[in-house]
């Protein structure tokens, strides 16, 4: 039986793990977190999936309790700029496609499009809210999509896998502030926090970890050890020697440079979306927080030097970047062959990572934690539990890898050596066959990557249509259908979007009230 857990490493991964385990097992499972006061966190994962709300719900945290402390804001979509051509953009929203006569509005748009409206504008409500910088909530806290509101302010205890309806928003937040908030939250509820440096990792005769030795607190023993040491992989890689499998043959971006830029949100407003702006050697993220913007350039070191990347990022940001300190990051792209080895489980960057193009860093942490609880070791440490965990984590990372590869493969840009190289880059196993099918018809649930990775078929539709790589022709069956129901839904969707733009407060207005205590 596992009677104690030691988490090595703090940051977002460590404290999300500690608080989730404490919320699950209470004082029946003592949790100790050991973190150095001198190791900075990477902190590029400030944008999230909509499933992250289940994490806060599980801890019993309402938005007004944690968002102001973390400079949090709402995220309705990702806005992709210049991926198809200079000056062009489209949104990837948290919104499933409506269906008319058995076919999605994406299929109908291909058939009925008159050229007046972009695909995302015609088929979704959320792009209109993004353009108008609207909050997804009324001032009373009522969600604009009332069927998803539970009628109260207190969260419900759920997990990410209970999401049968696409929730319409995620969050942006300051990752360092969130880690600090969760550290305080967790220690007040019984998590033991040890601020110290690990100087040695001890193993028994089987090769299992028996304890860690700290500089000031001596040896700390446990039954289960969780590695949250980031790209270092102190336990999983350096101690246990688990090999790391790189994804750089298909996803070459391996560097980033980030800036924290102050902004007057009252004067300029706040966009309720993350922006991914394509550049000569990669892309730049822009994440609006309450009081500042988080921005960074993700690029490939094969095509760009750190100095060139920083100069391009500062030029992109403009005068406000003058006094901002640049944080240069080497990214380890790929995954461990196994994330659970012996009595050690790696979660977060120590497990695996892909570039944050679809805000998956926090998602991977949450997925790893929830899978650990689902596969929690028994008294015999049944190897099938570890095997199931490793399979789930590997499939999730590989599914996201394939979805990100689609962003580059489907992009029509070829104006620099970096973008020209995307055409010749190899594809993950099985993806070429799927691409051939998508040339004939849009993706659906039966034709996308088949294992859970957080993305549904509508996300693949968005990227293909937004990037300019739709099927060669509309679905043939639509030629035999009248299309009246689809036209009615397109008109209804347009009216609904216009009404919401008029009714909803701006993101800044809503968050200002939240920060003021409502």
Q: Would you please indicate which residues are annotated as catalytic (active-site) residues?
A: 75
Q: What whole-number distance in Å separates Cα of residue 13 and Cα of residue 9? A: 8
C-alpha 483/C-alpha 150 separation (Å) is: 35
Distance CA 410, CA 438 (A): 11
CA distance 297 to 301: 12
By the 8 A CB rule, do 23 and 58 touch?
A: yes
Strands 224-227 and 344-346: parallel
287 near 47, Cβ under 8 Å?
yes
Distance CA 281, CA 277 (A): 11
* Secondary structure of residue 212 in the 3-state scheme: strand
Question: Which residues on adjacent β-strands are paired with residue 80?
Answer: 90, 276
Token pair 């790929």 is found at 334
Select from 219, 188, 227 the least CA-distant residue to 202.
219
Per DSSP, 355 falls in state: -
DSSP secondary structure of 371-440: HHHHT---TT--HHHHHHHHHHHHHHHHHHHHHHHHHHHH----SSHHHHHTTTS---TTHHHHHHHHTT
Bridge partners (DSSP) of residue 100 are 103
Q: From residue 326, how far is each of 40, 55, 296 by CA, in Å?
A: 14, 31, 9
Q: Cα 275 to chain center, whole Å?
A: 13
Q: Do 475 and 103 meet the contact criterion of CB atoms below 8 Å apart? A: yes
The dihedrals phi and psi of 435, each to the nearest 5 degrees, come to -60, -40
Q: Measure Cα distances from 246 to 63, 251, 403 in Å.
A: 37, 9, 16
Tokens of 98: 């409506």
Q: What are the structure tokens assigned to 420, written together?
A: 């020209």
**Residue among 135, 145, 147, 123 nearest 63 (CA):** 135
Tell me the two tokens of residue 71: 């400079």
Give the strand order in the sheet containing 352-353: 244-246, 334-336, 352-353
Helix (H, G, I), strand (E, B) or coil at 213: strand
Structure tokens at 478: 């639509």
């Amino acid at each position: 039986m596992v009677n104690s857990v030691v988490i090595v490493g703090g940051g977002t991964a460590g404290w999300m793990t500690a608080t989730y385990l404490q919320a699950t097992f209470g004082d029946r499972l003592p949790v100790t977190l050991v973190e150095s006061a001198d190791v900075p966190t990477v902190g590029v994962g400030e944008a999230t999936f909509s499933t992250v709300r289940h994490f806060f719900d599980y801890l019993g945290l309402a938005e007004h309790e944690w968002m102001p402390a973390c400079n949090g804001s709402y995220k309705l979509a990702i806005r992709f700029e210049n991926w198809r051509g200079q000056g062009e953009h489209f949104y990837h929203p948290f919104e499933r496609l409506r269906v008319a006569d058995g076919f999605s509005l994406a299929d109908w748009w291909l058939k009925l499009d008159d050229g007046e409206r972009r695909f995302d504008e015609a088929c979704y409500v959320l792009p209109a809210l993004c353009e108008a910088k609207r909050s997804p909530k009324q001032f009373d806290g009522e969600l604009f999509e009332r069927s998803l509101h539970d009628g109260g302010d207190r969260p419900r205890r759920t997990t990410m896998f209970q999401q049968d309806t696409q929730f319409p928003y995620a969050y942006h937040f300051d990752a360092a502030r969130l880690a600090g908030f969760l550290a305080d939250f967790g220690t007040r509820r019984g998590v033991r926090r040890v601020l110290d440096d690990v100087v040695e990792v001890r193993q028994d005769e089987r090769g299992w970890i028996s304890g860690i030795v700290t500089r000031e607190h001596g040896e700390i023993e446990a039954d289960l050890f969780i590695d949250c040491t980031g790209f270092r992989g102190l336990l999983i890689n350096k101690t246990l020697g688990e090999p790391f499998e790189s994804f750089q043959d298909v996803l070459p971006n391996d560097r980033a440079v980030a800036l924290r830029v102050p902004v007057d949100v009252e004067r300029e407003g706040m966009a309720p979306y993350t922006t991914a702006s394509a550049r000569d050697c990669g892309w730049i993220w822009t994440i609006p927080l309450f009081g500042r913007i988080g921005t960074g350039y993700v690029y490939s070191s094969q095509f760009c030097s750190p100095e060139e990347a920083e100069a391009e990022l500062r030029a992109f940001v403009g005068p406000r970047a003058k006094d901002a300190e640049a944080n240069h990051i080497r990214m380890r792209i790929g995954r461990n062959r196994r994330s659970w080895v012996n009595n050690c489980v790696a979660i977060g960057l120590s497990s695996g990572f892909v570039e944050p193009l679809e805000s998956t860093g926090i998602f991977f942490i949450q997925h790893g934690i929830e899978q650990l609880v689902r596969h929690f070791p028994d008294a015999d440490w049944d190897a099938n539990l570890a095997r199931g965990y490793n399979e789930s984590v590997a499939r999730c990372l590989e599914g996201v890898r394939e979805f990100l590869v689609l962003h580059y493969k489907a992009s029509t840009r070829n104006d620099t050596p970096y973008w020209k190289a995307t055409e010749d880059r190899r594809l993950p196993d099985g993806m070429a066959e799927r691409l051939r099918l998508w040339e004939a018809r849009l993706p659906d649930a039966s034709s996308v990557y088949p294992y859970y990775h957080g993305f549904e078929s509508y996300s693949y539709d968005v990227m293909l249509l937004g990037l300019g790589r739709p099927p060669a022709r509309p679905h043939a069956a639509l030629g035999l259908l009248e299309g009246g129901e689809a036209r009615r839904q397109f008109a209804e969707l347009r009216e609904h979007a216009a009404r919401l733009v008029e009714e909803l407060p701006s993101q800044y207005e809503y968050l200002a009230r939240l920060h003021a205590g409502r």
